[in-house]
Amino acid sequence: MNELYQISVPLEGNTSIALTIYANKPGILFEIDKEEAFENGESRFQLVEGSSYEYLLPPGYKLEKSEIIRPSGIDPCQGRIITNIYVGSLDINVWYQQKIVGFVTLEIRSVKAKYRTDYRQMLQDITTKCTDLLLQQSSLVTQTFTADINKDPQTIYQRFAFVESIIRSDQFIDSLYKINSMPAKRWRTIERHTNICNIRRANNSVIRQIASTNSRTPICSNRSLSNRFPSLPNKVNVVDKTETTDIPENRFVKYVLETFMQFCLSVYRHPKAGNRLKRDALASSDFLERYLSLPVFRDISHLNMIPLNSPVLQRKEGYREILQSYLMFDMAASLIWQGGDDVYKGGKRDVAALYEYWLFFKLLDLMEEVFGIKPRSVNDIIESGYKNGKHLLELKLKQGHLKMIAGTFVAENRKLHIEFCYNRTFSSSTPYPQGGSWTRNMRPDYTLSIWPEGISQTEAEEHETIAHIHFDAKYKIDNFQSLFQDIDLNEEKQEQAKGNYKRADLLKMHAYKDAIRRTVGAYILYPGNGKQTFQSFHELLPGLGAFAVSPSNSPTALKAFLHDIVQHFLNRASQRELYSIRTYNTFRETPGPILKEPLPDKYGMEHPQTTYVLVGYYKDNAHLEWILKNKIYNTRTDNDRGSLKLSHETTTAKYLLLHGKGSTQTNLIFRLTSGGPQVISKERLKKLNYPFSNIKPYYISFSLESSLSVCSGFGNIQWDVSMLSGYQTGRGSALPFTVTVEELMQGKYNS
């Protein structure tokens, strides 16, 4: 059942109009209660990304046109809302007679049910990572970072987002509850003026007061003390010890809460703050005020000095986390992130873009753990400098800008160069054998490149010894079944005709693997559960697949996969490495002459450039008849002239071409057996009635196939062996030599 909501839009002059929104399918239009909306800094009326709606206003009113709001060309008071990939707060101006008379705020929620939690968790992780990197740089720790949002109002939202991620973190909240339930306490002494009858134990101070204090009362004569003290003081001063929570550590915690709340209020009051930012800042301020009202903070006085050296702040559970949050706060509030515009500019909450940035840091941690590689310095990621006399920090991570972490992985048997890149572009303008794409420019989200240490990346590309593994972030994917499910291909073609590409993400991985030179793997990273990998052949790589990497779960499967990659590259006898070597040997030279001649199809697995032919000589017809009868061709094996050299080409020859005395033209070509050459003795030749008497002790022999016939696969071809490169004139014409099938076919003279 379709849904229809009417929203009251306040206008100038305390009037309002009704905005009617119609959802074309159920489950994509919501209204949440005020408390939930305020807690999350959202509008009560919520739409869903990737959905389409119709809207209607009273006559004369219209909504401001944008990429999402598309008024009707016939009647401007109605139109469509198409959310596309937008997620977050959407402020829409309402116009009447060429004048803005009000606005309405809608919330566009992500299709992911946990996007609120994921958004905060990922921002917190990025903030923590950045501040950790800064704290590792001793020169930066000595600097003072003061959050002044008035100096750079363009970055007010991103600074607040970093700070809010600290305030809303589970660690921060849990720490406050721990402090409230078990606050640090100390004994203190207090002096009080009390009736002498209330004293149970008299110390030296009390005894002195009994003897000397004025304002005394006489003691009756029948009392035992009257002999010593004719009178006693009415009241005396006593000192007691009592526990108190009003100590510097608790004052510091209260100071931190007040500082955070003051920052949120300053953001709320900022004239450049948008409606979404004001709601978020006010909600966070209210959130902090609730914790300031906890019993432990009610009787805490103001802080005079920050006790950074206190063992309680540094070690006690709860307090040390608050101290860490405070140390993070100044830097987080001062950190400028230009890439943050992709995430939350204009009130949007682009969880998919944030997931891509978050994955960079998650993968960075994995690369450090698996390969032992760290950023060369903080400046690789965070830039520190001065502008207008103020110390500024900028996170340089932004879509489309390459960030590279490189180093050497040292194992017991091999050294590998590791390079991890973010948004590296593989250009189509670089010709083979250089690196790049051979179709169009490609830019995976993350690229892991591995090649042997000791050579440059350019050399590794040209020698086919580098391997690229790509990863792409896909926040909207729920599980790998949706990626790799079998679907009806006819149905898929019909959907593609409508512009729906169900397997677009999978096909993109295939595109990376096919288009980018030396790519051995392409994998999708998505928040969810499970994994799926495919192997092209027998080994881990080349491959393709998907891994779950969620803000709420440890990337166990991806980590195990990276460890498997390490073991794969340490195997010097891997098929992938052999494939790379053969690829280099195949394409390092320009192609030879075009060969369109008939060849034996039965042996089609052999390539003319790597298949060798032994060109042999027979002395007379008797010799030829002996060769054909015994299916043996023998050559000399000593160091004298005429002996055959046992080279790779000779021992792997697949064919034998025979030519006789007085003629270089022949069509006698035969297939050799696969056993290779053998040694044959003088005695063996005599038993086979070898037609010559002057026989050497040993010869090298080649066996012809048992079904002996002139190899018909070459067609009716005549060759002139004198046209081949190994042929020698004169007495050398009888010497055997080898040629490739490709060269052999250049020596034909008729067919």
- The CATH number covering residue 36 comes to 2.60.40
pLDDT score at 18? 93
pLDDT score at 144? 39
Last residue of a domain, one of 549, 583, 617: 583
What is the chain's Cα-based Rg? Answer: 43
**Sign of torsion over alpha carbons 427, 430, 434, 438:** positive
- Say which residues have a Cβ less than 8 Å from residue 56's Cβ, sequence separation at least 6: 19, 20, 22, 77, 78
* Residue 404 placed within a domain: yes
Helix (H) or strand (E) holding 194: strand 186-195
Q: What is the DSSP letter of 632?
A: E
The 10 Å CB-count burial string (b at 16+, else e) for 508-545 is bbebbbebbbbbbbbbbbbbbeebbbeeeeebbbbbbb
pTM: 0.74
State how many domains the chain has. 5
Structural domain of residue 669, as residue ranges? 601-750
Three-point CA angle 491, 494, 497, nearest 5°? 150
pLDDT at 151 over 60: no
pLDDT confidence of 445, banded at 50, 70, 90? very high
- Residues 132 and 101 grouped into a single domain: no
Last residue of a domain, one of 61, 88, 109: 109
Q: What is the C-alpha separation between 706 and 714, in angstroms, rounded?
A: 19
pLDDT score at 135? 58
pLDDT at 603 over 60: no
pLDDT confidence of 90, banded at 50, 70, 90? confident
- Residues 258 and 126 grouped into a single domain: yes
- Residues 134 and 251 grouped into a single domain: yes
Most confident of 197-206, 536-545, 644-653: 536-545
- Residues 413 and 529 grouped into a single domain: yes
pLDDT confidence of 152, banded at 50, 70, 90? low
Q: What is the C-alpha separation between 340 and 157, in angstroms, rounded?
A: 9
Better-scored residue on pLDDT, 379 or 430: 430
Q: Which whole number is the average pLDDT over 354-371?
A: 90
Q: How many C-beta atoms surround the C-beta of residue 338 within 10 A?
A: 15
- Residues 451 and 544 grouped into a single domain: yes
pLDDT at 142 over 50: no
- Are 49 and 88 contacting, i.e. CB atoms less than 8 angstroms apart? no
- Residues 416 and 317 grouped into a single domain: no
* Residue 595 placed within a domain: no
Residue that is written with structure tokens 């800008």 in the block:
401
Give the up-direction half-sphere exposure of residue 490: CA atoms within 13 A in the CB hemisphere. Answer: 0
How far is residue 345 CA from its own chain's centroid?
Answer: 23
pLDDT score at 447? 96
pLDDT at 139 over 70: no
* Residue 376 placed within a domain: no
pLDDT score at 674? 84
Better-scored residue on pLDDT, 530 or 376: 530
Nearest one of 382, 383, 350, 394 to 152, comparing CA atoms: 394
pLDDT score at 688? 94
- Are 290 and 283 contacting, i.e. CB atoms less than 8 angstroms apart? no
* Residue 372 placed within a domain: no
**Sign of torsion over alpha carbons 725, 728, 729, 735:** negative
Across the chain, mean pLDDT equals 83
Q: Which whole number is the average pLDDT over 190-219?
A: 71
- Residues 251 and 238 grouped into a single domain: no
pLDDT of 177-204, one tens digit each? Answer: 999 999 998 887 667 777 766 676 777 7
Distances (CA, A) of 25 to 47, 190, 494: 12, 71, 22
294-303, 394-403, 535-544, 594-603, range with the lowest pLDDT: 594-603
Q: What is the C-alpha separation between 564 and 540, in angstroms, rounded?
A: 8
Nearest one of 336, 395, 354 to 156, comparing CA atoms: 336
Backbone angles phi and psi of 248, in degrees to 5: -55, -35
Residue 516 corresponds to which tokens in the numbers above? 């980018």
- Residues 179 and 190 grouped into a single domain: no
Backbone angles phi and psi of 333, in degrees to 5: -75, -20
Nearest one of 66, 87, 43 to 278, comparing CA atoms: 43
- Are 264 and 288 contacting, i.e. CB atoms less than 8 angstroms apart? yes
**pLDDT > 90: what percent of the chain?**
34
- Residues 154 and 7 grouped into a single domain: no
Q: Is 442 exposed, middle or buried (0-12, 13-18, 19+ CB in 10 A)?
A: buried
Backbone angles phi and psi of 184, in degrees to 5: -70, 140
Last residue of a domain, one of 349, 366, 383: 366
- Residues 506 and 567 grouped into a single domain: yes
Q: Which whole number is the average pLDDT over 638-646?
A: 74
The 10 Å CB-count burial string (b at 16+, else e) for 159-197 is bbbbbbbbbbbeebeebbebbeeebbeeeeeeeeeeebe
pLDDT of 500-527, one tens digit each? Answer: 666 788 889 999 999 999 999 999 999 8
pLDDT score at 561? 95
Residue 734 corresponds to which tokens in the numbers above? 């009888």
pLDDT confidence of 54, banded at 50, 70, 90? very high
- Residues 628 and 553 grouped into a single domain: no
Better-scored residue on pLDDT, 682 or 332: 682
- Are 9 and 105 contacting, i.e. CB atoms less than 8 angstroms apart? no
pLDDT at 681 over 60: yes
pLDDT at 1 over 60: no
pLDDT of 539-588, one tens digit each? Answer: 999 999 999 998 888 899 999 999 999 999 999 889 999 999 888 888 88
- Are 701 and 655 contacting, i.e. CB atoms less than 8 angstroms apart? no
- Are 624 and 692 contacting, i.e. CB atoms less than 8 angstroms apart? no
pLDDT at 296 over 70: yes
* Residue 377 placed within a domain: no
Backbone angles phi and psi of 421, in degrees to 5: -120, 150
Q: Is 494 exposed, middle or buried (0-12, 13-18, 19+ CB in 10 A)?
A: exposed
* Residue 386 placed within a domain: no
pLDDT at 53 over 60: yes
* Residue 590 placed within a domain: no
104-118, 407-421, 558-572, range with the lowest pLDDT: 104-118
CATH of the domain at 655: 3.10.590
* Residue 741 placed within a domain: yes
pLDDT score at 136? 57
- Are 163 and 263 contacting, i.e. CB atoms less than 8 angstroms apart? yes
Better-scored residue on pLDDT, 137 or 302: 302
pLDDT of 306-355, one tens digit each? Answer: 887 888 888 899 998 888 888 777 666 666 676 666 676 666 677 888 88
pLDDT score at 145? 40
45-49, 224-228, 464-468, 729-733, range with the lowest pLDDT: 224-228
- Residues 555 and 479 grouped into a single domain: yes
pLDDT score at 519? 96
